[in-house]
Amino acid sequence: MSGRLREFKYIFMSSLIQYITFPGVIFHELGHVIFCKLAKVKIYRISYFKFGATLGFVEHEAPQKLHQSFFISIGPLILNSIICLIFTAIFFRTLFVSVSHVDLLILVFWWIGFSAGVHAFPSVDDIENFKNSVYERSRWSLFRIISLPFVYIFSLVKKFEYIEARLIYASTLGIVLPFFFYFFQK
């Protein structure tokens, strides 16, 4: 398979996954909004979801403190991970309690939860903004030291196939953990 065809297939599959899991984009942007409000950082514009290269965004003033930037950047990771765990746990709980009857609503719960997991990671722009915020600080502080591993982890994920890392995270959080929790509970 030629390099161009492989690249086209990757872009096509990535885009398809992004659009199928659009509820996760909405929660991702909501995570930024919630943490902007908690950090008292002014929001200028919000787009929870749109078709195009950028699926959603939150434009806000530059955070003045590193902890504000940190929580605004990882807000989606926190919110989406919680939503993923809750919604997929409801799915698996129903699956293990009434195996004979899984209706559409329960499948929608799993889809919403899994979608949240897929979009939990900070976006490339989120990573860059946070990385710049960490490196712009001239003095060392405890919070800067705590932030550095996050910068390196997210930068490492960004270097690999980003969509695969997100699918692995969502699968672990939304399938493997709830399955083992309910399986070993019996």
pLDDT of residue 29: 96
Beta-bridge partners for 83: none
Q: From first to last of its 186 residues, what are the pLDDT tens digits of the chain? A: 567 766 666 667 777 787 888 899 999 999 999 999 999 999 999 999 888 777 889 999 999 888 899 899 999 999 999 999 999 988 888 877 766 666 788 889 999 999 999 999 888 888 888 888 888 866 777 888 888 888 888 878 777 666 778 888 899 988 888 877 776 765
pLDDT at 61: 95
Q: What amino acid is encoded at 41 in this protein?
A: V
Give the H/E segment covering residue 47: strand 43-47
Q: Which domain holds residue 125?
A: 3-185
Residue with tokens 């955070």: 63
What does the pLDDT read at residue 38? 97
Single pTM value for the model: 0.86
Q: How far apart are CA 141 and CA 108, in angstroms?
A: 44
Give the Cβ contact number of residue 170 at 10 Å: 26
Residues recorded for the chain: 186
Residue with tokens 């509970």: 185
CA atoms within 13 A on the CB side of 37: 6
pLDDT attached to residue 58: 94
- Cα(14)–Cα(167) distance, integer angstroms: 10
Position 1 scores a pLDDT of 57
Tell me the two tokens of residue 5.
Answer: 């065809």
* Number of domains the chain is built from: 1
How high is the pLDDT of residue 157?
Answer: 75
Q: What is the pLDDT of residue 179?
A: 77
pLDDT of residue 76: 95
Q: Which residues make Cβ contacts (< 8 Å) with residue 182, sequence separation at least 6?
A: 92, 93, 95, 96
